[in-house]
Structure 1
Amino acid sequence: MNLAQPAQAGGGGISELISFAIGLLRRQYLVILVTAALAAAASLIYLRVVPPTYTAQVQILLANPRPQFVQQQSILAEPAFDLNQIETQLQLLRSKAIAVEVIDQLKLADDPDFNASGLSLQSIWQRIWSWGKTGSKKDGPSGTLREPSDAIVDAFLSRLSAGRVGHSNIIDISFSSSSAVRAAEIVNAVANTYVLDQLNARFDANRRATGWLQERLQELGDQALTAQRAVDIYKAQNNIVSLDGKPITEQQITEINNRLAAARTQTSEATAKLARYEALLASDPKKSSSMVDLDAIGSDGLNSPIITALRQQYLELSRREAELTARVGRDHLAVVNIRNRIREFRVSIFDEVRRLAEVSRSEFELAKQRQDEIEKQLSKAVSQSRSINSAELTIKDLESRAKGLRSLHETFLQRYMGSAQQETFPVSESRVLFPASPPPTKSKPKTRLVLAFGIFGGLAIGIGLALLRNLMDRVFRTSSQVEAVLELPCLSMVPLLPAQKSPKPPVRPQASDDQVQQRIVSSPTAIHRTVVGMPLSRYTEAVRSIKLAIDHNPAKISSQVVGITSALPNEGKTTIAASLAQLIGHAGKRVIIVDCDLRNPSLSSILAPKAACGIIEVANGSRSLADAIWRDPTTNLAFLPAVRRGPLLHTSEILCADAISKLFDLLRNDYDYVIVDLPPLTPLVDVRATSSLIDCYILVIEWGRTKIDVVQHALHTAPNIHESLIGAVLSKTDTKAMARYDGHRSYYYHDSHYIRYGLSGS
């Protein structure tokens, strides 16, 4: 529950938040300011105590481009500086080897900046741990001590940092020291050591590669020479001779194949010519009456001069035969003679054709014989070629191996020459872009940042503590809380009077014998007399508000008997009961106040310390009511005390007895108002026994002290009392502090409003 704003406020707007913040600041400003001041003071002390630290920076380019001729001659591959490679270089920069090299180079083991860590908790723990592991150093040999020590190396590495600059191949190295000059000197030494280490590593790798190449070259040269010799020996053993890169047998087979093809073509032509002649000679020239088809014998027949002459004569006779037949008839003697001569010419032509056929037959047989001889030569060459196929395969394998060894030997020779030349031109892959210089200002602690962090951190912590205190402040501060939590109207907020003191065990003041005889109340404290002596005070006005709520109680018709109780003791219920009774009596009403707090009759010890009888004696009939009542002559107030003569074990039974009920009926008849001072709800159950006696109850809650949970629990355990409550009263209210807790109605607590109507601030 938010204690800084009214419970009935609806919504969580900006105005509510602003009001809550303002109220929180007004209530807890001292906590916030004190916390911020302490944090700022701690920041100043930190800046005063902590020595300054200077950080020097240097940048290294990883992918340093090398000359083109060096790249061509290099036998080592160019590294691809990807993310993994850059991370590897960062680990090398932060490695122990680099740290030891720089420490030895600059003699940092003797630097007090590194040895001054002997007072730190980390170094003390490291020494204890090393003692527990190795025991006394005096027992070990002096040669086992490592220089520099692990503590110095760890201290060095803790001040060294390296990181990649964006997405580039540039590494930023920084080192922190108490001296600006020393920081620049160390970070430059780290960068130079790293570059030199890279150069030495590449030189060693190149030298080892050159030595290996030299040994490999010797082996490859011997192997290539041996392979070539094996090829020559095998050729000599198998009588293999090559011409233009091809074996002789293969060329012979090719030539024989060409000759065989030509021979076969010639044989085919001779066969075709012979077939034509034989087909022509198969016909009988004597029986044939027509001219022989000389075109069928081919070009040889047409080119023969004999056949050509015979044919011309044959054609001439055929023409004459045709002319005579047309003139004299077919059977004429002249036509018959010409026909016989034509037959003779035909026979002559056939004879010549027969002679040509014989010539063609001779050519065919000759071509056939030549073809057979070439086929025999081809078969012999093929058989010889098959016999050396396995030898050729072996030769090819030997020649391929010899050729590969020679090529590999040449490649290694080129690499070896390049490596030998590169040894005279050492180039590192990394280089320092610009050496570090002493930083002009310290890197930490940053004064502005530390102060800002201290101030704003203190404010944040203060606000947090303020919120925590606000949440832990589970007490009643405003009337809105009372109405929201208890669902009861807040009748009044009775201010705290300056004269009020912490309640103490009752001290019985000395009373005169006349006062005892007349039963006149003793002079009460200033609190009880405020309503009479200061009728225009805030306190009196708050008590009037209680009386007005009693007179206008809408729950019951009669509010004659009013019980005043609280959840815990010392919440001011007795004071408010006495003040309310005095106010009513001072106004001219008949009023009696009854002390029903039988176990702790504090009101009786104040008003009637010498009382010999009281409510218990009147109830049991040993004394009359008139003998037990004490009066205040100023306000005409009647008071029925409670006299405690010994321990009372059953006070709740006494309060619910019929005698007490008859007594209260008598009081109702004699007085206009009966104000009852009841015990608290939480420690006792007596109040629950008075529900038949009391018309209405008023719950008194001490402002800023009584816990909300306590009041809720008290009302939950007394439901009959809760139903008869007409409201609650906040007692001992600090009106000046109310403006900080009830921001919505802060103007209500201004003294100017009361002064305007003649009221005092008290």
Structure 2
Amino acid sequence: MAKDPEFAGRSLLHPIAGFVTRLLGWSKPETEYSLMRHAVEAFERKLSVKRAGATYIVDIGFEATDPDRAARILNTLAQTYISAPIDARYQFASPDQMWTKDRLAELSSKATAAQKILDDYRNAKRDDPDSVDAGAERALIAAADSSKAAYDSFRHVARQTEAVRQQSAPMFEASLVTRASPPLRASSPRAGIVLGMSMIGGTLLGIGLGMLRDLLDRGIQTSGQVWKELQIACIAVIPRVRSSDAKRAVLFANSTDRQNSTDRHERALSNSNSRSVERRESPIWPVMDAPQSRFSESLLEIKLAIDSMYRNGKRSQIIGITSTFPHEGKSTIAASLALLIAQTGAKAILLDCNFRHPSLSTLLAPAAEVGVLDVVSGAASLRGTTWIEPTTQLAFLPIGNTSRSTYRSGVPLSELLNKLSHTLRAAYEYVIVDLPPMAPCADVPTAMSALDSSIFVVEASRTNVDVVKRALEIIRYENVLGIVLNHAGNSSVWTHLVPKATA
């Protein structure tokens, strides 16, 4: 039984785990005695014994993976329980019976020998009467009588003892009522009960985890939560747009209007000395190719909020886009918003001022050698530095040589924007500035004074509301037009694509 997997110790069932625990000193090597102890304990856990009501009937049960084996074990247990006491009594009485038998044989032999000596002496007396000794005869008679009396007395006592033993030993102390038979179905686990309890437990656990997550999650999820937590308006909720959707949108637009796009591109190159922006896979292009999508409609809400924002009687012209942390999608929103404004016919320029991570410059003008710093220093003109998106005529001012930074050039971000503001206001109706995130860049709060308004991008369900609140307090809500809640759910731009009419 100690080697049976159903009753063996854990070290036998899991030899690798047993070896590791012994190697680390957590357990001692298994001995034959310990293996037997484990087997007996496992056997006892599977065995159940209970009394049937108020009767003297004992109901025993046994759990095993094989129903036939469980029945055999129970029948063997019952038979052993019944026969073991009787066998024990007979085995205990057997040595006494052997001793009594040997003693009776010995006394019988002595009595027979004494009687034979007496008979021989009497025969000799009849043959030779003169040699008879009266004292000797009396001694032989006494010895024969004594041996016979001892034999009779011991035999009487032995018979009485055997009679008492037979009367005190019952034939059966227990009897078998019914033999065990293999069950028709498994007693445990109950599949229906387990399934029902699992469903109820899983539902309650899911509800509990959901409530706990809501309590622990301090991320902003809805536009109503923006006003409740930050006391500032949520001007737009932007859905998440995958790059694969954007790529499919570009391919769809190109397949329906490839020739017109080529013509517009050639006209832009002939009418301008600026460089041309080439499309690359990015989530900024659906605003052009899917104008009726939820993504485009949300960006249109931002434009309407900008147009309705007046300061000192003037409309907002220079708008900065920032966020608390990197990778919240502010650059995508800045570029998409600029494309949407330029698509309406307004003269717009997109300015990349994210010197730490110039993602827009890498996307729209990767070959640019001059940029913002060169325009500020006078090394290059604004017209000779900007790049043009041929379809919307959006101007883009990249950073240029990304090996330089605002700190190496000695021009803080606020001073850079102040130097460019007069030129940009005179040349463009809208200036969209992609600012660095506030967390790694301490220069953003000082640059707010050079802007007409700013938009704060917050990634839904990710950015902590307390962190956003502290960031807004640092800039003192200055010129903040509102919050844009980004990545709020998914939006498939493919389902909203509308082919453009040929020119």
TM-score of the superposed pair, with normalisation by structure 2: 0.60
Deviations 1:393-425 (CA, angstroms, capped at 9, x unpaired):
xxxxxxxxxxxxxxxxxxxxxxxxxxx989836
1:726 matched to 2:481? The reply is yes
1:638 matched to 2:392? The reply is no
| Structure 1 range deviating more: 426-435 or 156-165 | 426-435
1:617 corresponds to: 374
Per the TM alignment, residue 664 of structure 1 is displaced from its structure 2 partner at its CA by: 1.5
Give the residue type in structure 2 aligned to 1:537. Answer: S
Per the TM alignment, residue 700 of structure 1 is displaced from its structure 2 partner at its CA by: 2.5
Q: Quick one: distance in 2 between partners of 1:721 and 1:522? A: 34
Structure 2: stretches of 5+ with no match in the other structure: 94-162, 248-264
1:545 matched to 2:301? The reply is yes
Structure 2 residue matching 1:571: 3-state secondary structure: coil
Q: Residues 481, 452 of structure 1: CA spacing in aligned structure 2 closer, same or farther, 3 A cutoff?
A: farther
Deviations 1:690-729 (CA, angstroms, capped at 9, x unpaired):
121123222223456xx233x6435524623361333222
Give the residue type in structure 2 aligned to 1:581. Answer: A
1:173 matched to 2:60? The reply is yes
TM-score of the superposed pair, with normalisation by structure 1: 0.42
**Superposition pairs of residues 312-711 of structure 1, within 5 angstroms:** 424=167, 431-432=174-175, 434-441=177-184, 443-446=186-189, 449-450=190-191, 453=194, 457=198, 460=201, 464=205, 468=209, 471=213, 477-497=221-241, 499-500=243-244, 518-525=273-280, 527-553=283-309, 558-632=315-389, 634-644=391-401, 646-648=403-405, 650=407, 654-656=411-413, 658=415, 660-703=417-460, 707-709=462-464
Give the residue type in structure 2 aligned to 1:173. Answer: I
Q: Quick one: distance in 2 between partners of 1:647 and 1:427? A: 109
- Computed over aligned residues only, the root mean square deviation of the Cα atoms, in angstroms, reads 5.1
Per the TM alignment, residue 677 of structure 1 is displaced from its structure 2 partner at its CA by: 0.8
1:296 corresponds to: none
Q: Residues 459, 655 of structure 1: CA spacing in aligned structure 2 closer, same or farther, 3 A cutoff?
A: farther
Deviations 1:122-175 (CA, angstroms, capped at 9, x unpaired):
4749999999698xx9xxxxxxx9xx9656655554443323455776543334
Could you tell me whether the CA contact under 8 Å between 1:176 and 1:183 is conserved in 2? Answer: no
Give the residue type in structure 2 aligned to 1:492. Answer: A
Q: Quick one: distance in 1 between partners of 2:385 and 2:419? A: 16
Per the TM alignment, residue 575 of structure 1 is displaced from its structure 2 partner at its CA by: 2.3
2:151 corresponds to: none
Q: Residues 457, 670 of structure 1: CA spacing in aligned structure 2 closer, same or farther, 3 A cutoff?
A: same
Q: Quick one: distance in 1 between partners of 2:379 and 2:30? A: 92
Could you tell me whether the CA contact under 8 Å between 1:126 and 1:151 is conserved in 2? Answer: no
Structure 2 residue matching 1:424: 3-state secondary structure: helix
Q: Quick one: distance in 1 between partners of 2:337 and 2:424? A: 17
Could you tell me whether the CA contact under 8 Å between 1:495 and 1:734 is conserved in 2? Answer: yes
Structure 2 residue matching 1:588: 3-state secondary structure: coil
Q: Residues 649, 163 of structure 1: CA spacing in aligned structure 2 closer, same or farther, 3 A cutoff?
A: farther
Deviations 1:267-298 (CA, angstroms, capped at 9, x unpaired):
xxxxxxxxxxxxxxxxxxxxxxxxxxxxxxxx
Q: Quick one: distance in 2 between partners of 1:702 and 1:600? A: 18
Deviations 1:638-659 (CA, angstroms, capped at 9, x unpaired):
3333222523262796235545
Q: Quick one: distance in 2 between partners of 1:152 and 1:596? A: 75
Q: Quick one: distance in 1 between partners of 2:322 and 2:405? A: 20
Structure 2 residue matching 1:606: 3-state secondary structure: helix
Give the residue type in structure 1 aligned to 2:181. Answer: P
2:4 pairs, out of 116, 125, 130, with: 116
Q: Residues 716, 501 of structure 1: CA spacing in aligned structure 2 closer, same or farther, 3 A cutoff?
A: farther
Q: Quick one: distance in 2 between partners of 1:582 and 1:502? A: 14
Structure 2 residue matching 1:546: 3-state secondary structure: helix
Give the residue type in structure 2 aligned to 1:162. Answer: V
Per the TM alignment, residue 678 of structure 1 is displaced from its structure 2 partner at its CA by: 0.9
Give the residue type in structure 2 aligned to 1:723. Answer: Y
Per the TM alignment, residue 675 of structure 1 is displaced from its structure 2 partner at its CA by: 1.2
Structure 1 residue matching 2:378: 3-state secondary structure: coil
Q: Quick one: distance in 1 between partners of 2:14 and 2:301? A: 75
Q: Quick one: distance in 2 between partners of 1:532 and 1:590? A: 16
Could you tell me whether the CA contact under 8 Å between 2:318 and 2:431 is conserved in 1? Answer: yes
Number of equivalent positions: 392
Could you tell me whether the CA contact under 8 Å between 1:701 and 1:730 is conserved in 2? Answer: yes
Q: Quick one: distance in 2 between partners of 1:456 and 1:655? A: 65
Q: Residues 439, 119 of structure 1: CA spacing in aligned structure 2 closer, same or farther, 3 A cutoff?
A: closer
Greater relative contact order (CA < 8 Å, ≥ 6 in sequence): 1
Q: Quick one: distance in 2 between partners of 1:498 and 1:541? A: 17
Per the TM alignment, residue 542 of structure 1 is displaced from its structure 2 partner at its CA by: 1.4
Q: Quick one: distance in 2 between partners of 1:657 and 1:133? A: 76
1:207 corresponds to: none
Q: Quick one: distance in 1 between partners of 2:11 and 2:336? A: 72
Structure 2 residue matching 1:691: 3-state secondary structure: helix
Q: Quick one: distance in 2 between partners of 1:579 and 1:132? A: 70
Q: Quick one: distance in 2 between partners of 1:474 and 1:154? A: 52
Structure 1 residue matching 2:477: 3-state secondary structure: helix
Per the TM alignment, residue 621 of structure 1 is displaced from its structure 2 partner at its CA by: 3.4
Q: Quick one: distance in 2 between partners of 1:651 and 1:115? A: 77
| Structure 1 range deviating more: 515-524 or 673-682 | 515-524
Could you tell me whether the CA contact under 8 Å between 1:521 and 1:630 is conserved in 2? Answer: yes
Q: Quick one: distance in 2 between partners of 1:477 and 1:115? A: 60
Structure 1 residue matching 2:457: 3-state secondary structure: strand
Could you tell me whether the CA contact under 8 Å between 1:562 and 1:694 is conserved in 2? Answer: yes
Could you tell me whether the CA contact under 8 Å between 1:655 and 1:689 is conserved in 2? Answer: no
Q: Quick one: distance in 1 between partners of 2:408 and 2:474? A: 18
Per the TM alignment, residue 548 of structure 1 is displaced from its structure 2 partner at its CA by: 1.5
Give the residue type in structure 1 aligned to 2:236. Answer: S
Q: Quick one: distance in 2 between partners of 1:421 and 1:517? A: 132
Q: Residues 719, 465 of structure 1: CA spacing in aligned structure 2 closer, same or farther, 3 A cutoff?
A: same
Q: Percent identity among equivalent residues? A: 30
Runs of 4+ aligned structure 1 residues displaced above 6 Å come to 125-131, 420-423, 427-430, 554-557
Structure 1 residue matching 2:350: 3-state secondary structure: strand
Bigger radius of gyration? 1
Q: Residues 500, 561 of structure 1: CA spacing in aligned structure 2 closer, same or farther, 3 A cutoff?
A: farther
Q: Quick one: distance in 2 between partners of 1:116 and 1:486? A: 68
Structure 2 residue matching 1:564: 3-state secondary structure: strand
Q: Residues 548, 132 of structure 1: CA spacing in aligned structure 2 closer, same or farther, 3 A cutoff?
A: closer
1:192 pairs, out of 82, 86, 102, with: 82
Q: Quick one: distance in 1 between partners of 2:409 and 2:56? A: 91
Q: Quick one: distance in 1 between partners of 2:409 and 2:446? A: 6
